[in-house]
Homo-oligomer: A and B are copies of this chain.
Amino acid sequence: MLSAEHLAAAHARLRRYPAKHTIYWEGEPGSFFYQLQAGAVRLYSCGQRQDFIHSLVFPGETFGETVIGTNPVALSSAETLTDTVVWVVQRAELLELLRQHPALHAKFTRRMVDLLSFHTHMRSNTTLLPAAEQILQLVNYYAHKMLARRNEGSCQPDTAQQCSFCERLSESADGYLCVPFTRQQIADMLGLRVETVMRTVKELDAAGRLRLHEHKLYYRLSQPALAGSDSPA
């Protein structure tokens, strides 16, 4: 995450997009690096029959970091879920910024490690685990992430960095978190179908591994989070 000074030094421009607006398409030549200020974005690929969500981006997180590669191409499409405010940095400016600030470059590299860890985990989960375990892992990962965000105050309603997900992440007295994703989003993040998620979630509820109440999904933190201090985008 870039500080205000870094953003200024890189001549970052603040952009506002309405909900459901596509910021860029998969396959386009990548020219920009992004840092989400407020709102929410999904990074996804389109298939014939369904979309695949690579990850959801929260305020304060960056996306499009692969621009720093040689001959960059967008690995996914980026679409706003809600009204969104985002900092946009030119590729060349980012490269220069990293060159001039070794500490920032190191931080950037750690971000890359976290992204890689996330995708690596998810990839082996998809292959090796049944739907139920995949759902738990996903929910667990995002629950940890959102809690961490709340604790560090990144998502306070009084700051600019509002996050539609964290707003919905209410915590009930018994330590259960309300999972702020729709069944469809969960399905798209795991490459499953809504109906499969539905049925599996009901089984998980019956098995006491999570809780369903008034159509909402509640999860109690237990397992350790995926590796990585930061989070994917």
Given the known interface contacts A121-B75, A124-B45, the answer about A109 and B113 at a Cβ–Cβ threshold of 8 Å is: no
Select one of B52, B106, B113 contacting A124, CB under 8 A: B52
Bound together, the chains give a CA A72 to CA B110 distance in angstroms of 10
For A116, the chain B residues whose CB sits under 8 A away are: 65-66, 75, 112, 115-116, 119
Q: Is A207 an interface residue (CB 8 A)?
A: no
Bound together, the chains give a CA A128 to CA B71 distance in angstroms of 25
Which secondary structure dominates where chain A touches chain B? helix
Q: How far is the CB of A97 from chain B (nearest CB, A)?
A: 13
For A68, the chain B residues whose CB sits under 8 A away are: 109-110, 113
Select one of B75, B128, B191 contacting A126, CB under 8 A: B191
The number of residues on chain A lying at the interface, defined by a beta carbon within 8 Å of a beta carbon of chain B, is 44
Contact with B along A219-233 (1 / 0, CB 8 A): 000000001110000
Closest to A191 in B: B127
Which residues between 101 and 121 of chain A lie within 8 Å of chain B, taking CB atoms? 102, 105-106, 108-110, 112-117, 119-121
Closest to A110 in B: B69
Judge whether A128 and B48 touch: CB under 8 Å.
yes
Select one of B76, B105, B122 contacting A109, CB under 8 A: B105
Closest to A48 in B: B128
- 9 closest residue pairs by CB, A with B: A127-B191, A47-B128, A69-B113, A112-B112, A45-B124, A52-B127, A119-B119, A75-B120, A52-B124
